[in-house]
Every structure is written in structure tokens, then in C-alpha cells.
Amino acid sequence: MGDLLDAAAVRRWCRLAAEALGRTRAEIDALNVFPVPDGDTGTNLHLTVLAASEAVDRLPGDADAAAAWRALAEGALLGARGNSGVILSQILRAMSEVLGGGGRLAEALGHASRLADRAVAHPVEGTMLSVLRTVAGACPDDGEPGAVAWAVAERARVALRETTGQLEVLARNGVVDAGAAGLCVILDALAAVTSEEFPQRYEVPQRTVPEVACEPSAEQGSGGGYEVMYLIDADEDAVTTLRADLDRLGDSLVVVGGEGLWNVHVHTDDAGPAIEAGVRAGRPHRIRVTYLQTASGRHARNTGRGVVTVTLGEGLTTLFEHHGARAVRREAGRPPSLDELAGAIVLAGDEVAVLPNDRTVLAVAEAAAQRAREDGVRVAVIPARASAQGLAALAVHDPLRRFDDDVIAMTSAAGATRSGHLETADGEAVTSAGICRTGDTLGLIDGDVCVIGSDLADVTVRILMRMLSGGGELVTLITGADLPAGVVGTVEEHLHEHRPDVEVMVYDGGQDRYPLLIGVE
């Protein structure tokens, strides 16, 4: 297992786990009733894995497996969010210590279970710790790595279903543990990368009884009004004292880390003493205090209505900024930095609409929006999956409308715009339109390959006529950096002859990878 998960595989695992948690985040959030019913476990796990993934992605291309595992562990520790994220960071740290040295998965899971149990002040049954303990004890000692990883993932699913009967508050609400559900998604992603057998979807068990009010239970404890988290530079002896101090001040206490850097999480009625305990133990930093019941008392750093958009290419950036949006530039094939996008949202105002403009950016946009909400910003992510949809949404944006009405109008405009694009095949593959070969021009509609050809203008025309067959009055063409001269003119001539009722708008996007982006309204 350790040999198989080289640096490239670690990077793929991080990216796939982040993507899978992005897809299932809301479903996991809906399960969250323990240790407090704040509905953010899926979001916190997603943010934690995103931080780990970004740390691995920052490594140079020739980094070895040991460096990738170290980066994963450090990124998760520094970016851990919430009770579940802090525990997960300790699990990932323990796995990295074993697998980064070429060890086996069974050994890694056993080490992770022991470290995670020690990190939680008062562990209870029916949580992600229980599931981890079960799979660590049931993991095969040898075998084909992919088969071993899938055996672990399948045993985790069985243990996940058992959590409902292990914790009273879960049984009362008819749910499995949210943190354990997230851990199962992460283990599924590990098995997929190891075996190269990728699931169609990641299962999250749904609530089986109507939602009930969650009164604090014996397992939950009295809790506290505030979640206090911080990183702290301290030696191990000082952290031992800090654990005892914080255990007296609150509950849901988790302290993880080592080698002088620790991540602290506690729920308490009084945030001040919890921070002061950290000051006595060492140097706390990145201090974050969240009121668990409501965010109504927080205020954004700026006021007013804003729009944040994610763009490809200098031309698109200029175009969106010209229409009043704050643009976050990304590279083709990669989502933007979570920190950069969240920062842009906070700077844009206290009511902000976000335009991801790519289906692969949606999950990061949701995570960035959640982070900005913690700073008091009211955020809505418009489901724009293409730049043309983002432009359509921005065209109807009206800062004088009520925010909810503005979001509805922008969402409707994006949804009424069909999107297409051209790209060049970089290898032979089987597509929904047939077999493509290296260098072929692919015409895609809403993400699916519909046309394969050799001539850019011909493929564009064929794509457009399909898109217009269902109706449309406006065609938007956004040209890429490598689009040959004359293609747009040929397309415009064809439309003028065969669809004179259609208006055509052309913009210079300057994006790489995609010679042409297409929208039909």
C-alpha cells in the first residue's frame, strides 16, 4: 500500500476525497446532531480535506511520496475545521506516518485509531472513532492493495450503519453519525484511487425518522455557547496541562498535533479562559471563536452588495470586472485557492453572490462561502456551471433588489442558458459521440461530448445548431487564446444564413485549453 500510494496517488486521493466531500457535504451536514446539532460536519470535513489537498498541490512536481504524505498531514492540521475536522487531521497524520514510510494499510489504520482515541478527551461509541476502530481491527494484513482498500471501505459502511444504535441521540433522530459518514466517503476515495475503480456516487445514509428537536443528551454534555479553536506552538508537557485546563472549562475537547505544533478545539460557555489557558501553555495563533447557536452577532468587514466570479483567462477577467464583479482568476483544469476565493467574498461586501462558472469549481465555491459566512457575510452560490451562464446571471444582477430576489433572478438567468465548449482531445478515448483520437476537436454541450471532428468551425456550427434546436435568441461566443482567425466569422455567416433571428455576441476571453466557450439563451 505504501509503495503503491506514491506522490501522484496521494495527490489524486486528496483531490478525489475533496471532490467527493464537496458533492456529499450538504447530505452529511443534514445528519449532524452530535456533539452539537450545528449542521456543519460535512462542511468542516470538506474544508479540512481541501486544505490538505492544496498543501499537496503546492509541492514541486518531483516531490517524493514521503514529502506528499508530510504535506497532507501538515495541511490537514493547519486547515482543520470543527470537531470532526480536527479528529480527521489526526487520522490523516497517523496514516501519513505509516504509509509515508511504505507501511501497510492495516498498520496505518491501527495507528490512526490509537492516536485519534487519545486526541479526544472523552470518546464515546457511535462516532467516527468507533468506525475507525472497527475497520482497523478488521483490515486484512495482506492482499492486493485495491482489494484490501475496498474491504476496508465496505467494512466501514457496515460499521457506519451500526452507529445509530450505539448513541442515543443518533437513534432518536434516525441518523448515522455525520463524522463517520464523512470518513466512509474518504475511505471510498482511497479505495477508488488504489484500485482505479471509481464509484458512480458516494453513499450517505438518509435520516429515517422525522427531524426532532435536539436537546443536550448525556453523551453530548452541557456543551457551551462557543466553539473555540486555535493553533498553538507548545511543548508536549505544556499541552498535557492545557488539556486538563480545557477539560475543566468545557467539552468536545480535541487536541491533535505534535512536534511543537498543535490544533485545539473545545466547546465552552466562556471563550476567554479557554484562550488564556492557551497563552499560559505556549503561543496560540489563528484563534477562532464561533457562537454555536447563531451567527447574528457577527458583522462582515465590508458592507453592500457584491458579486464574486471565478474566471479563466485575462479577457474573461476583464469582461466580468467591467460589469462590476470581483474576479478570482484560476488556471485551466484547477479550481481556485480556497483562501483566495473566501477572501474575495469577504472583501466584496456583506451580501455576496458567487459565480463559480465551472462545475468543478462549485464545491470549492460552497466551501469558500461557508468560510465567509463565519465572518458574517450573507452568501449565495449561483449554480453557474459555465462562463456563459455566469455572464447571463451577471447581466440581470441588480444591487437595488432584495438580496433573495436578486439571487433568484441570477439563478434563473444562469439556468436558462445552455452551455457548450470546444476542446482538443489529448488522447484516444471512448466518448458518448464515439471514439476520439489525439488532436480531434471535441464539441461538448453541458459537459457531454456531442460532436467529434477535425475542423473547429464545422464542429462549432454543428454544436450550435443542436443547442438552438430547442430554441434560443442569443448566442454568446467567448474566444480562447488559441482560436484560429476566421472561425468566428465562418460561424457568424452560417447563423446569419440559417438562423437570422438569433443575435450573436462575441467576447475575447483569452482562456487556455478551451478554444471557444458557447452560450445559448
DSSP codes joined into one string, 63-77: --HHHHHHHHHHHHH
Q: What is the pLDDT of residues 397-407, one digit of tens each?
A: 988 888 989 99
Alpha-carbon distance of 443 to 450, in angstroms, equals 6
pLDDT at 38: 67
Q: Quick check: 218 pLDDT over 60? A: no
Find the mean pLDDT for residues 355-365: 88
pLDDT score of 453 more than 70:
yes
Tell me which of 120 and 142 has the higher pLDDT: 120
Dig out the grid coordinates for 74 from the structure.
501538515
Question: Looking at the domain that runs over 7-195, which CATH code has it been given?
Answer: 1.25.40.340
pLDDT at 210: 63
Q: 29-33, 210-214, 318-322, 456-460: lowest mean pLDDT where?
A: 210-214
Calpha distance 341→338 (Å, rounded): 5
pLDDT for 1 beyond 70: no
Confidence of residue 295 (pLDDT cuts 50, 70, 90): very low
- Cell digits for 309? 466570479
Which pTM does this prediction carry?
0.67
**Do residues 292 and 61 touch, judged by C-beta distance below 8 A?**
no
| Architecture of domain 305-415 in this structure | 3-Layer(aba) Sandwich (3.40)
For residue 469, the model assigns a pLDDT of 87
SS3 (DSSP) at 306: strand
Neighbours of 19 (CB within 10 A): 20
Residue 223 has pLDDT above 60, yes or no: no
Pick the more confident residue, 120 or 293.
120
Q: pLDDT (tens digit, 9 = 90+) per residue, 20-54?
A: 998 888 889 888 888 777 678 888 899 899 999 99
Q: How many CA atoms lie within 13 A of 422 on its CB side?
A: 28
Residue ranges per structural domain of the chain = 7-195, 226-291, 305-415, 418-520
Question: What CATH number has the domain spanning 226-291?
Answer: 3.30.70.1710
How do strand 378-381 and strand 503-511 relate by DSSP bridges?
unpaired
Residue 339: band (very low, low, confident or very high) from pLDDT cuts 50, 70, 90: confident
Distance between alpha carbon 146 and the CA centroid of its chain, in Å?
A: 25
313 near 321, Cβ under 8 Å?
Answer: no
Please check whether residue 93 is in contact with residue 135, taking contact to mean a CB–CB distance below 8 angstroms: no
Written out in words, the top-level CATH class of the domain with range 418-520 is alpha beta
